[in-house]
A and B are shown apart, each in its own frame.
Chain A
Amino acid sequence: MTTLMDRPASASGEASSKRPLIERLNIFTALGLGAVSAIVVWQLALKYLPQNADTAFFFNREDKISLLSLIAWFVGFMVGIGALIGPFRWLMGKDLSHEENMFLAGKDQGVKRYFRYTTDHKVVGIQYVVITIIIFFVAGVLAMLIRTNLGKAGGGWIQPQTYNAIVGWHGIMMIVATIIMVTGPFGNFIMPIMIGARDMAFPRLNALSFWLIVAAIPPVFISFFTGGITTGWTAYNPLASQAGLGMNGYIAFICIFAISTMVSGANITTTVVKMRAKGMTWNRTPIFIYGVVASVALALPAFPVFFLSQIMSGLDRAFATSFYNSAAGGSGWLYENLFWIMGHPEVYVILIPAVAALMEMAPVFTRRPLFSFNLAILGIAGISGLSILVWAHHMYISGWAPLLNAPFMLTTELISIPTGMLFLVLVGTLWRGRVWMTMPLMSIYALLWNFMIGGITGIYLSDVPADSFLHGSMYVTAHFHYTLMGAGLTGALASLVYWFPKMTGRMFDTRLSWISFWLVQIGFNVAFIGMFMVGLAGQPRRVEAYAEIFSRGNMVTTMGAYTIMAGMLVLLHGVISSWRSGVPAPMNPWQAKTLEWTVPNPIPLENFAVLPVVTSDPYGYGKVQQ
Chain B
Amino acid sequence: MSVETHTGANPHHEHPDVVGSRNRLGVILLLVADVAMALSVLFVYFYLRQQNVNNMWLPLATADTPAVHPISTRGTWIVTALAALGLLSHFYGLKGARAKAQSQLTLGATFAMAFSAAALVYQFSQIGNAPFTTTSGAYASTYFLIAGLNTLHLVLTLFISIGNWNRSRLGLYVSDHWHVDIVNIWWIWMTVSSALGAFALSFT
Interfacial residues, chain A to chain B (CB-CB below 8 A): 55-56, 87, 90-93, 95, 98, 196, 198, 201-202, 205, 262-263, 265-267, 269-270, 273-275, 277-278, 284, 286, 300-305, 307-308, 312, 315, 319-323, 326-331, 334, 337-338, 341, 593-595, 598, 606, 610-618, 620, 625-626
Contact = CB atoms under 8 A, between A and B. Distances in A.
A331 B166 CA distance: 46
B1 A262 contact: no
A312 B43 CA distance: 13
A420 B34 CA distance: 34
Interface stretch (B23-31, B91-99, B117-125, B187-195): B23-31
A328 B137 contact: yes
Contacts of A320: 134-135
B68 to A, nearest CB: 10
Interface centre among B1, B59, B135, B144 (most CB of A within 10 A): B1
Contact of A611 (B11, B29, B32, B142): B11
Contacts of B34: 304
Interface stretch (B2-10, B69-77, B80-88, B100-108): B2-10
A267 to B, nearest CB: 7
A262 B31 CA distance: 10
Contact of B56 (A327, A593, A626): A327
Given A91-B166, A273-B25, A338 B138 contact: no
Given A274-B21, A315-B141, A611-B6, A304 B30 contact: no
Nearest to A302: B36
Contacts of B26: 201-202, 205, 266-267, 270
Contact of B163 (A90, A334, A593, A611): A90
A262 B137 contact: no
Interface of B: 1-8, 11-12, 21-23, 25-26, 29-30, 32-37, 40-41, 44, 47-48, 51-57, 59, 133-135, 137-142, 144-145, 159, 162-163, 166-167, 169-170, 172
Contacts of B139: 329
Nearest to A198: B11
B57 A329 contact: yes
Given A263-B30, A606-B11, A610-B7, A305 B1 contact: no
For the complex of A and B, list the 9 residue pairs with the smallest distance between their C-beta atoms, beginning with the closest.
A329-B56, A329-B138, A304-B37, A266-B29, A321-B141, A301-B36, A618-B1, A91-B163, A262-B33
Nearest to B41: A308
Contacts of A329: 48, 52-57, 59, 137-139, 141
A315 B5 contact: no
Nearest to B26: A270
B135 A56 contact: yes
A330 B11 CA distance: 55
